[in-house]
Amino acid sequence: MNWLFEPFPVWPLRSRLPEYPVVVEHDDTGPWTVRTDSRALLAYRGRVPPFPPARRDAASFFVPYLRALPSGGQLVGYQRLLCWLGPPRRPELCPDCASSGRECDACGGYGMLTFPRPGRIAGLAIDRNHLGRVMCGLEAIEVSVLGTTLLKAEMLFVESAHWRVVAMPTNVPSSDLLDVFDAIS
């Protein structure tokens, strides 16, 4: 199932952004239907029913992520990218605290176990499992992959003709050991 349609909660959202998809108009790139969990963002071109227009504060948050991308992205086969990401595994309710909100060593108080799978792509360390979950159900032959700075932060953009995924880098203790995506081989 396309992540756009997954029932909430996909991930606890620590912001005032809507947890459901919303339609955002961008002056240059047109309407998009957008969902975020604050770690990654999926933007689907066009207005996807039944999702509502974004409220003004949410729309102004999303607009920078929807601008036309700078050139320099690397064109890669989508299936190659999905293979590298690996099979997506859903977050699971933490068995130790059952998401009760109390302090918990198993999940760091998050309430969910998330199974991170770090990797390096376009110069950025990202969680392959999470990126794979956000791209689950999306179709493409080739995608453009680009690491670029947006709002003073490095972010990974993966773009097809019909959708765009933006992923925040993940913190990993030793990034030397990461599995690196090799677009050439």
Q: Which of 43, 97, 134, 155 binds Zn ion (CB under 5 A)?
A: 97
At a CB cut-off of 8 Å and minimum separation 6, what does 129 contact? Answer: 85, 86, 88, 89, 114, 115, 116, 117
Instruction: Specify the residue, 88 or 111, whose C-beta has the smaller distance to Zn ion.
Output: 111
Q: Which is nearer to Zn ion, 18 or 91 (CB)?
A: 91
* Closer residue to Zn ion, CB minimum distance, 114 or 170: 114
Minimum CB distance to Zn ion smaller for 96 or for 159: 96
CB of 92 to Zn ion, least distance (A): 11
Q: How far is the CB of 127 from Zn ion (least distance, A)?
A: 19
CA angle 107, 109, 112 (to 5 degrees): 50
Closer to Zn ion at the Cβ: 103 or 176?
103
CA 11 to chain centre: 11
* Single-letter code of the amino acid located at 50: P
Span from 19-27, 105-113, 147-155, 159-167 in contact with Zn ion (CB under 5 A)? 105-113
Residue from 42, 107, 143, 167 binding Zn ion (CB under 5 A): 107
Of the listed pieces 26-34, 56-64, 106-114, 116-124, which binds Zn ion according to CB under 5 A? 106-114
Q: Where are the beta strands (DSSP E) in 17-130?
A: 22-26, 30-36, 40-45, 74-77, 92-93, 112-113, 118-121, 124-127
Whether the bond between 9 and the residue before it is cis, its omega within 30 degrees of 0, is yes
- Could you say which residues in the range 35-94 bind Zn ion, by CB under 5 A? 94
Chain centroid to Cα 97, Å, comes to: 26
Binding residue count for Zn ion, defined by CB under 5 A: 6
Is residue 33 a contact partner of residue 48, using CB atoms and an 8 Å limit? Answer: yes
Among 29, 47, 48, 96, binds Zn ion (CB under 5 A): 96
> Which of these segments, 39-47, 69-77, 97-105, 173-181, binds Zn ion (CB under 5 A)?
97-105
Q: Using an 8 Å Cβ cutoff, are 90 and 133 in contact?
A: yes
Residues that bind Zn ion (CB under 5 A): 94, 96-97, 104, 106-107
